[in-house]
Each structure stands twice: as structure tokens, then as C-alpha cells.
Amino acid sequence: MADAAVAEKPKSKRPKTAPAPAAEAAPKTPKKLLVSGPKGGLGKTGCSRIIGVAASIAGLKVLLVDADAQGSLAAWHELREASGYESLAPIDCIAVDMDHAAEQITNAVGYDLIIIDTPNAVQAYRDQFVALIGLADFVLIPTGATFDDRRSTIPWMGVMKHHGKEAAFVMNRVKRSTVAFREAKKLLLKEGRLCPAEIPDLENIHNFADQGLSAVDIDNASGRDDCMGLWHFIRNEMRL
């Protein structure tokens, strides 16, 4: 008797599963630079502009935060936006009040570098400054060579040490040929790190601000190399 044909079992059809959606990349966490000092005229806003423009030219996405009620940095940025110059390095800028500065900075995402320009009224905003120091990856303390400048900035460096924060002085509006500059440099080096590049006291460095520019924007500007030296120092210290 012939063997009976064995019926083939139907192949089970498994439902096709859709491929899992690709996980969205987490937003980058920006590095935060706090530019701070407890006295007016130290050059906090000027240094913020220089570093911001240089970082943007280097290809980083930059946010400037103007936490000073005077609004000088935000006003400069408005001039820059309205200048009409072509090919300016793009920079974003927001003005914040100190009471909400830390929260707004924490919520700012998608940037490589956030630069925070602060007011002089350290005692009036004690808790707010502590919050900003806590957020910062690095603190830059601009200072002149005068006794009045050093009298305020050297103790401020002590505050950074107390909070365990990486920080450095940068000398601003200096006259390198003077005894006052050389003596101030020695004193600052005793108290903390000092940026090896200084911003010289050149009229055009400060006059560019009237057009929403900085010396870094102009290839052949006097003092541009010094300003770029400050940027190179910050870039290396913050590993940008």
C-alpha cells in the first residue's frame, strides 16, 4: 500500500513589527562661562563680546546672556543685528534679570557655549551669584592694573576658590610699558591663575562696539591678536 502523502503544515505568518524609531539625540549640554567681578569698569562686557565673537568664528553656537540691568551687552547685540554688515559671525543674546538668570540659563539648550555677563552688585544679589557660580564651568575675572581694581577682584578670586570653581584673571585696558602693569601682574599671579594674554588699552578695541562689532570681527584691527589670545586661553581651559 502506497504511503499516504503527508500534508505540509502551513507556515506560520508572524506579524511584521515596525522598526523601532531611532532614539532622538539628547540635546547638548552647553559649557557655561561666567564673566564676573564686583566693580564697574573692569571690562566684563567687552570680554564677553570678544569671546563670543571669537567662539562663533571658530564654529561654535554661542549664547550671550546679559544679566546686568544696564543692558550693555544686549544693546550691543541689537546694534550688531541691525548693522547690515555681511558675514558677521552669528551670535544669540538674551537679557535676563538676576532673580531668574540661573533658571533661564539652565533651560537654554542647543548651544556649545553660554557666556554670562554679570552686574557689579554682588552683595545685592548674593544668592543669585552663588547659583550662577554653581552653574559655571569656568569663571573669568577681568581686572585693570589699578589698586582699586585689584582691591575688588582679588577677594572675588577668593570667593571662587571657596566654591571650588576654576577661575582666572584677565588684565584689561593695560599699558604694558608701565611699572603699574608689571607690579599688578606679579600681585595677581600670587592670588590665582592669570590669562597670559592681556587686552591692551587701544581706542579702536572699544570703539568697534558702537557698530555692534568687536576687534575680532576685523582681520587687521589693532589688538585683534591679543583678543584672540584671550579666546585661545578660554577655549583650552574649557576644552571647547
pLDDT digits (tens, 9 = 90+) for 20-36: 555 566 677 899 999 99
For the segment 164-187, the average pLDDT, to the nearest whole number, is 96
pLDDT band at 6 (very low <50, low <70, confident <90, very high): very low
Q: Which pLDDT does position 18 carry in this prediction?
A: 52
Q: Which pLDDT does position 84 carry in this prediction?
A: 85
**Residue 129 belongs to a domain:** yes
**Residue 15 belongs to a domain:** no
Q: Measured between alpha carbons, how far is 132 from 19 in angstroms, rounded to an integer?
A: 43
Domain span holding position 225: 31-238
**Residue 56 belongs to a domain:** yes
With a cut of 60, say whether residue 8 has pLDDT above it: no
CB 116 within 8 A of CB 67: yes
pLDDT digits (tens, 9 = 90+) for 47-93: 999 999 999 999 999 999 999 999 999 999 999 999 888 889 999 99
Q: Which pLDDT does position 85 carry in this prediction?
A: 85
**Residue 18 belongs to a domain:** no
- Angle of the 179-191 helix axis to the 147-162 helix axis, nearest 10: 10
Q: Measured between alpha carbons, how far is 117 from 34 in angstroms, rounded to an integer?
A: 7
Q: What is the pTM of this model?
A: 0.88
**Residue 197 belongs to a domain:** yes
pLDDT digits (tens, 9 = 90+) for 183-224: 999 999 999 999 999 999 988 887 899 999 999 999 899 999
**Residue 143 belongs to a domain:** yes
**Residue 79 belongs to a domain:** yes
Q: Measured between alpha carbons, how far is 117 from 125 in angstroms, rounded to an integer?
A: 14
CB 112 within 8 A of CB 58: no
- Here the CATH number for the domain that contains residue 158 is 3.40.50.300
**Residue 13 belongs to a domain:** no
Q: Which pLDDT does position 87 carry in this prediction?
A: 86
Q: Could you give the number of structural domains in the chain?
A: 1
Q: Which pLDDT does position 162 carry in this prediction?
A: 97
